[in-house]
Structure 1
C-alpha cells in the first residue's frame, strides 16, 4: 500500500506522545485523500484498505485517550490517599525497614520468637553487614526499648542498622528473622510507585511495608 509507510510513521509518533495522535488526525486524513487522488487508476486501492487504516488510527487514538483518563484517575486517587494518610505524619510506623541511629537515641524494637524458644539473641548489623553487637534477650521478650551500643558497650555511631532475632531451644537454633521497629514518620510522599513514608533519620518506605501505626 502506497501510504503504509506514512501511516506507520504517524503511528510511531503517536506512540511517543498521546497528544501527537490527536493533533495529527487531520494530517492523516489529508494523506488518505492524497493517496486516493494519486492512486493508479488501472490498479485502484481496495476500499477495505482505507477502512482498515481509519479503524487502526481511530483505535490507537481511543487507547491514548483511555490511557490519559486512567493517568488522571490514578493521580486523583494518589491525592485522595495523601489526604487520608496525612494524619500519619508525626506518628510511629512499624516496619522491617533499617533503623537510622542518631546520637545513640533509644529505638523501639519488637521480637516475635517462635513457640518453644528458651533463648533469644538480637544480632545488630551495620550498613556494611558487619555485626556490631549480639544481645541476649529474655525468652518472653516482645516489644522493648534498646539503647544502641556496640560489643564494647559503647554508643553506636550514627548510621543505619538492621536487627535480626535468633531463636534457640536447648542451644539448637530454631531460626532467625528480621525484627520490626517503630520509627516516627516525618513526611508523606507521592511518587511514580505510589505513596511512601519518610521516617525520622531519612529512611523511606512504601505504604505497603507498614504493619501498624500508633500515636
Structure 2
C-alpha cells in the first residue's frame, strides 16, 4: 500500500481530469456564443428568427453555462477532498490504534489485544485456530486485565508458525450460561495511509488493513 503520496497523486489526477472537462465545456460555450451571434447578425430583417426558437436557443445557452459552473464547482470539491485526505493521512501516521478482527497475522511478535466484554459476562475464553481450522491454543482470560496478549504459545508446546494468519474467537459466559462470541481488538500502529475510491485505507504494523471507520485511537494511559 502506498503512503501519503498516493493521496496527493490521486488529488492531482482528479484536478487534471476536472480541468480538462472544464476546458472542453468552455470551448463548447465559446462556439455556441459565436454561432448565436452570427445567426442574429445575418438574419433576414424581413423574416427574423422565430421568437420561440430564439428562446429555446437561449435556454440551451443557459443550460450550457450551468454545466460549466457545475463542473468548476465539482473540481473545487474534489480538490478539497484531496486536501482533507492528505491532512488526515498526516494526522494518523504513527498513531497507535485498535482494529477489530477475528483474523490475526502472526509474525513472531507478541499480539496485544482488547476485548469488548459484555457488561454481564464474568468469564471469557480465547480460542486460536490455524488456517486449517485446528485449535492450537485455548485459555481463560482475566477480565480484570485491560490488555491481553498471545505470544505464539500452543497447546502442543511448540511455537506457532510465523507469517501465518490465525483465527481468534472469544466466548463469553455468565456463570455457565453462554452469552456470545466476540472478536479481539488488535492493538497496532498505523504505518501507511492511502486513498482508495475516495476512502482512506490504513496499513498497520500488524499487517492488518482497515478503513477510517474501522479503527479507534488507543491511549495506553
1:95–1:212 CA contact under 8 A, matched in 2: no
- Equivalent position of 1:94 in the other structure: 98
In 2, the alpha carbon distance for the partners of 1:193 and 1:131 equals: 39
In structure 2, the gaps of 5 or more residues are 1-17
CA 1:92–1:42: 2 relative to 1, 3 Å: closer
In 2, the alpha carbon distance for the partners of 1:31 and 1:151 equals: 84
Quote how far apart the aligned CAs of 1:128 are. Answer: 6.9
- Equivalent position of 2:177 in the other structure: 172
In 1, the alpha carbon distance for the partners of 2:134 and 2:61 equals: 64
CA 1:126–1:185: 2 relative to 1, 3 Å: farther
CA 1:124–1:30: 2 relative to 1, 3 Å: farther
- Among 68, 71, 85, the alignment partner of 1:78 is 85
In 1, the alpha carbon distance for the partners of 2:71 and 2:35 equals: 21
CA offsets 1:89-131 (integer angstroms, 9 cap, x no match): 1x4321214432113x211011232233332111334567665
Root-mean-square deviation (CA, aligned residues, Å) is: 3.2
In 2, the alpha carbon distance for the partners of 1:113 and 1:172 equals: 15
SS in 1 for 2:127: strand
- Equivalent position of 1:204 in the other structure: 209
Counterpart check, 1:50 vs 2:57: yes
Normalising to structure 1: TM-score of the pair?
0.74
SS in 1 for 2:218: strand
The 5-angstrom pairing of residues 31-180 of structure 1 reads: 31-32=35-36, 44=50, 46=52, 47-86=54-93, 89=94, 91-97=95-101, 98-103=103-108, 105-126=109-130, 132-157=136-161, 158-180=163-185
Q: Which has the higher contact order (CA 8 A, sep 6+)?
A: 2
- Runs (4 or more) in structure 1 with deviation over 4 Å come to 33-39, 125-132
CA offsets 1:113-153 (integer angstroms, 9 cap, x no match): 22333321113345676654433223534312211244434
CA 1:178–1:73: 2 relative to 1, 3 Å: same
In 1, the alpha carbon distance for the partners of 2:131 and 2:29 equals: 55
In structure 1, the gaps of 5 or more residues are 1-13
1:112–1:142 CA contact under 8 A, matched in 2: no
SS in 1 for 2:119: coil
Count, aligned residues: 196
